[in-house]
A and B are shown apart, each in its own frame.
Chain A
Amino acid sequence: MIELRLWISQRSGMLLAIALFVLMFTIYIGNHPAGLTVNVATTAANKGVLLALVAMAQTLPVLTGGLDLSVGMVFILCNCLASHLIIGSPFQVALGIAAVLATGIAAGAVSGAIVVYGRLQPIITTLATGAVYYGLALLLRPVPGGEIDTDLADFITYQLFDTVPTTLVLLAIVATAVWLPFRLSETGRGCLAVGSAEGAAFMSGVAIDRAKLLAYVLSGLLAAIAGLLLTFITFSGEASAPAGGTYTLNSIASVVIGGTSLFGGSGGIIGSIFGAFVLRTIEDLLFVFDLPPLWQPLFQGIVLLAAVSLGAGRVFRVRNRLELFG
């Protein structure tokens, strides 16, 4: 019983995001002319999973107390690369997928190495590496285009056994394959430790450099998976700076709505997934209520502010005003 109470209280942010999503999605489906059909669910899933993957990529550096402004650009870079490589024989396609994922890992590793060994601030480091990655994306795809294996793309973006959106299954697999080992490995827990109190982590003998590096590497990998998925959805690559920037900023918003602290140390990937779903559902809600889509940023901003306000209660309990600045 006490276990359950502790479990819930320590995941209140995530649970709130899930509840909010369920509420919003129920309203959406209730007002949708077609109701909950497989096609409606698949369209919602494809858009939601895309942001959810980028939000997961953002979560890991945030847990270490950092921030990754390059996730959106790694996402775009991998999209452009995939639009060249995911074509041909099954072997070539497999090789192409591997190359795209490796590119994401390399991109994350570069950012991480600069943060860890160069001791530069994550924000400025990833702002710079993000610009580099976008530059590479532009070289790969000066104009939108490309061609990909349509059979594979259709398989990924439709349903499994005509019932479950494949992207949701993919998301569940990726989340389980990344988060579980992360949460239950020494290095993964080291990330949380570093974000919680870096000095104490060092004094406890935690391998802090390795932990931080891993966070950025995994972040790059997740952004690459998102880039692949974008290619499957659009059948092409486009080096779009607005898309990269929007995804980066929305990923940070999703992380916060999902209950992860921007100071690091607490939160997790599952919350971010639902944070992303919440942001995405706002768009759908505007659609079913016939409101102009131009209102979307306004509503997203309000939801984000509300989510952040929930975490601000701490300020009223601080007894030493100096701690407000720590």
Chain B
Amino acid sequence: MSKIASKDDAPLLRMHNIGKRYGGVTALDRVDFACRSGSIHAVLGENGAGKSTMIKIIAGVVEPSSGEVFFDGRRVRFINPAEATHNGIVCIFQELSLLPDLTVADNICITDPPRRFGLIDGRAQRRRAAELLARVGCADVHPMELVKDLSLSRRQMVEIAKALGRNPKLLILDEATSALTAADVASVYAILHRLRDDGLAILYISHRMHEIAELADVCSVFRNGRHIETFPKGSHSDDEIVELMIGREYRHVFPPKPARSAPPPPVLAIERLTWSPRLHDISLTVGRGEIVGLGGLDGQGQRELLLGLFGVLRGVTGTIAVEGRAVRPTSPRQAKTPAVGMALIPEDRKTEGLMLPMSVRDNVSLASVAQLTRGLTVDRAAEARRIDEMIRQLAIKVDDIDRPVATLSGGNQQKVVIAKWLMTSARIILLNDPTRGIDVGTKQEIYQLLRKLADRGAAILLYSTDYDELVGCCDRVAIIYQGRILRELRDAEITEHNIVASSLNLGLSGGAGAAA
């Protein structure tokens, strides 16, 4: 598959026919991939393209369902990260692998500390940590500080120092620069170039196109669990790379969007909402009957925006107005009161959406128990009527509403979460990636439902990691990049190409030029 393979030097890492399935979902499909020493190899793809799964297989975090991995000329099968590290594969993951309660020196030398008389030599360990910190340009971090007392950017630099201390042959960076300050990014680039010249193989996953232009020697594009193409830097334009990432795929069926002559009156108006350092000056309106999408790459602040509106975050500044009245909910309990009228369908239904061991009945009515209470007790008849109505409206497949909700399928569970919030008669519905991990049929039912709710007057703010969904569902899409709204797409501008390009902070097609 690799188009740059030459015959005389064998690749350091070679993956052959790798497949990985999670239940019925194929995360990787017959992937062949190779990377070689002395080069920086960028891996590109949309959310869910299979990049992370591949990295996890290389690092020994997950085992492939099929296929073979060769490293340094030998067939390998790592059963845990320790074994991969031992063989010279070192990973820097998006979620930091640092131990917050331990010191920087302890963290850097966690698996292979210097010893004296069989015990850890604290002084030598501090010295080694100081050396490595100096190497990554972080001499200001003291080895005895606790990791939890460092800023996020410094922590990430400690993570990089820790990785270098393990003398890798293959260094993998998975979005490792996402939290770095500009100064730290510059020193990371310098280190990576030096390591490459020293003969290391570096796998680099990033969503920032300009980083790839600056760093990579070779690029590989993944899509839908497949390795699409590997090419040397400069052989494709940015536009062509975006096309490779999107490809031609199965399209969902979406309900038609209403034609509008004028923008509808806003129900939710956000002005200069800030929660530093994750959100900056977010101004956005959602009108009556409108579905507004939040786009962009994962983790740019979309989740925080929804949580901030719903009263989960402390220290949010800026104004939030509902129907023209300023509101400032300080808890979900306040956010759902009729005066505010918000509902949030959370990202993870298992931890934030459902009480899994409780019955379908109790889950559906949980958020509206107060509304259903007459005197001191819940009006069981009214509750049953409302639940019945919801189950019919959402077509939840359940034979007995006293069953624990854990026994339902993923799609039906998600419908229970939605039903819970519809029962509160909210006027503003916030959705955080509501179709993740559910089947296509249920997805389409949810699309229909969202449009129906909008037509009845709800204002809907939808964050989705599936660009297709944003294109098909939304009247407007706000692209968030590093905590700011980078661009707002409307009507014919809402195309997958424009969303992907904006998410990567590139110009729109048609040569509009890159935005700042």
Contact = CB atoms under 8 A, between A and B. Distances in A.
A302 interface: no
B176 to A, nearest CB: 14
A176 interface: no
A75 to B, nearest CB: 28
A298 interface: no
- Residue of B122, B146, B162 with most chain A CB atoms under a 10 A cut-off: B146
Nearest to A182: B119
Interface in B137-168: 142, 144-146, 162
Contact of B99 (A7, A265, A322): A265
Given A7-B144, A205-B81, A321-B314, A181 B119 contact: yes
Contact of B100 (A3, A10, A197): A197
Contacts of A181: 119
B243 interface: no
A199 B162 CA distance: 17
B144 A3 contact: yes
Contacts, number: 98
Interface in B298-313: 307, 311-313
Given A6-B142, A204-B81, A205-B85, A185 B102 contact: no
Interface string A249-286: 00000000000010001100000000000000000000
B425 interface: no
Given A6-B142, A197-B100, A204-B81, A185 B313 contact: no
B96 A207 contact: no
B144 A321 contact: no
Interface string B73-100: 0000000111101100001010111111
Main secondary structure of the interface of A (DSSP, over half): helix
Main secondary structure of the interface of B (DSSP, over half): loop
Interface in B83-126: 83, 85-86, 91, 93, 95-103, 106, 110-111, 113, 118-120, 122
A45 to B, nearest CB: 29
Contact of B93 (A186, A203, A265): A203
Nearest to A3: B144
Nearest to B332: A321
A196 to B, nearest CB: 4
B513 interface: no
Given A6-B145, A319-B314, A320-B307, A186 B113 contact: yes
A199 B96 CA distance: 10
Interface in B352-410: 352
Contacts of A203: 61, 81, 91, 93, 97
B331 interface: yes
A184 B120 contact: yes
B315 interface: yes
A206 interface: yes
A48 interface: no
A224 B122 CA distance: 31
A200 interface: yes
Contacts of A84: none
Contacts of A47: none
A201 B97 CA distance: 7
A322 B307 contact: yes
Interface in B304-347: 307, 311-315, 331
A192 B99 contact: yes
Contact of B102 (A3, A6, A196, A199): A196
B120 A189 contact: yes
Nearest to B330: A321
B455 to A, nearest CB: 32
A88 to B, nearest CB: 36
Given A185-B119, A189-B120, A319-B314, A206 B102 contact: no
A197 B99 contact: yes
A193 interface: yes
12 contacts: A181-B119, A185-B119, A189-B102, A189-B106, A197-B99, A201-B110, A203-B61, A203-B81, A204-B162, A318-B314, A320-B314, A322-B307
